[in-house]
């Protein structure tokens, strides 16, 4: 039985790998790695400028010009890592504008039933009515998974929203991203990269509402009746919380933290008419490290980085005339193995979704298994599979106990502006 189970899993994955070129809609002639070949390399990529900050402990980071899209410097730009709540930028890219800000919605128990245990919450209560504007404040300021799930249910449900988010990521050419849930919570297979998160931020900042929400420091949130309580943005470079100074010229954008993913942050700032985007993922230690390293990279970009020559570029969305590109070679096998968007609970790919559209194509099954065996004989594929396995270690255990707080200490908003820590 165990051998048969192994064979079944290999057959399904083989079918997925064989079908991927068809479902990904990437033409055979597309050989350019998205963003440029240099970004597919590991290690620091910079040209024509020195003076990069010395104490950068993040597993991946990227600095880009917000206007031109030129990547000025990067480190492991396409490394696939858990995004935590920075994935909410893609959620906003996908759903903002679908509902008028003044539209009112009465929340039900069902809207909140699938919010993962341990989630960051803004404090939405069933039975209360909220405007869409207030729900988006909950998403951006408090990174509230409860607000995300309410908006997702307004949009037709979690599965529909996840599918739309994946389609949006593909259009933006964020090919490292695999969406499992709309809130960024730790689920097996939910991954992105510094490159992709920067794409989400750049696209989002073109939207006036996105820009306004991510730059809002505080807001009054309904508590029932005529009562409200104040919520504060968890972006410490924006508010100066937790012993940090506010960053001069900061626009936003979004931070994230879970106990398994660590800290992630994408920040944007404007100085002297120039806008820079910086993404930092998973610094080694310290809850402030992600902000400190973002600030250091922004300082570099506004200073010595002015002389930097581009090592890559942020891709233009396909819907805006962008040219098709391919995922970084080291991640092709991992992307195939990640499965279909909207994976089953716990992040396991749904077998029926993997087989969807494959009825009557038994020949692909044998071809897929052969391709899988051949792929695993090659070193690049072995490295990609090993990296994907390494990134998911620890997230499979105790997933429901994961803390998704956007802070090193859990904070849940309560009426009156108090917080439980």
- Residues taking part in catalysis: 85, 88, 143
CA atoms within 13 A on the CB side of 362: 0
Q: Give the C-alpha separation, 290 to 285, whole Å.
A: 9
Tokens of 122: 């803004």
- Phi, psi angle pair for 65, to nearest 5°: -80, 125
DSSP 317: P
Q: In sequence order, what are the residues at sequence separation of 6 or more whose Cβ sits closer than 8 angstroms to the Cβ of residue 288?
A: 236, 242, 243, 244
- Phi, psi angle pair for 324, to nearest 5°: -60, 140
Q: Are strands 129-131 and 312-313 parallel, antiparallel or unpaired?
A: unpaired
One DSSP character per residue, 274-291 reads: EEEEEEEE--SS-TTHHH
- Phi, psi angle pair for 16, to nearest 5°: -60, -45
CA nearest neighbour of 251 among 268, 237, 273, 226 = 268
CA nearest neighbour of 412 among 151, 138, 90 = 138
- Cα 19 versus chain centre, distance: 25
Polymer length in residues for the chain: 421
Tell me if residue 395 falls in helix, strand or coil.
Answer: coil
DSSP 376: H
Q: Give the C-alpha separation, 341 to 162, whole Å.
A: 7
Q: In sequence order, what are the residues at sequence separation of 6 or more whose Cβ sits closer than 8 angstroms to the Cβ of residue 8?
A: none
């Amino acid at each position: 039985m165990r051998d048969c189970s192994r064979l079944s899993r290999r057959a399904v994955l083989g079918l997925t790998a064989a079908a991927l070129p068809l479902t990904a809609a990437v033409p055979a002639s597309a050989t350019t790695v998205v963003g440029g070949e240099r970004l597919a390399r590991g290690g620091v990529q910079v040209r024509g400028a020195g003076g990069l900050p010395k104490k950068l402990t993040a597993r991946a980071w990227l600095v880009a010009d917000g206007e031109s899209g030129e990547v000025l410097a990067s480190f492991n730009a396409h490394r696939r890592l858990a995004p935590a709540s920075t994935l909410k930028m893609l959620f906003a890219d996908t759903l903002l504008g679908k509902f008028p800000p003044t539209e009112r919605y009465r929340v039900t128990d069902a809207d909140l039933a699938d919010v993962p245990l341990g989630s960051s919450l803004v404090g939405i209560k069933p039975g209360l009515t909220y405007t869409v504007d207030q729900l988006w404040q909950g998403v951006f300021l408090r990174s509230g998974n409860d607000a995300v799930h309410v908006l997702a249910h307004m949009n037709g449900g979690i599965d529909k929203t996840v599918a739309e988010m994946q389609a949006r990521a593909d259009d933006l050419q964020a090919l490292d991203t695999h969406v499992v849930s709309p809130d960024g919570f730790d689920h097996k297979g939910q991954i992105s990269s510094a490159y992709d998160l920067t794409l989400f931020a750049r696209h989002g900042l073109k939207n006036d509402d996105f820009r306004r929400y991510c730059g809002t420091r505080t807001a009054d949130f309904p508590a029932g009746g005529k009562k409200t309580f104040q919520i504060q943005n968890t972006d410490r470079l924006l508010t100066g919380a937790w012993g940090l100074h506010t960053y001069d010229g900061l626009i936003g954008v979004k931070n994230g933290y879970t106990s398994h993913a660590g800290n992630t942050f994408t920040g944007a700032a404007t100085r002297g008419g120039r806008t820079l985007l910086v993404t930092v993922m998973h610094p080694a230690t310290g809850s402030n490290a992600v902000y400190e390293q973002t600030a250091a990279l922004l300082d570099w970009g506004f200073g010595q980085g002015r002389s930097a020559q581009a090592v890559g570029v942020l891709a233009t969305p396909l819907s805006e005339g962008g040219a098709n590109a391919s995922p970084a070679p080291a991640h092709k096998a991992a992307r195939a193995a990640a499965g279909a968007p909207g994976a089953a609970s716990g992040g396991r790919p749904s077998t029926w979704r993997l087989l969807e559209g494959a009825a009557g194509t038994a020949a692909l099954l044998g071809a897929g298994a052969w391709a899988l065996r051949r792929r695993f004989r090659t070193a690049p594929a072995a490295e990609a599979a090993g990296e994907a396995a390494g990134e998911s270690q620890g997230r499979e255990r105790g997933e429901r106990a994961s803390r998704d707080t956007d802070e090193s200490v859990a904070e849940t908003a309560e009426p009156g502006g108090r917080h439980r820590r």
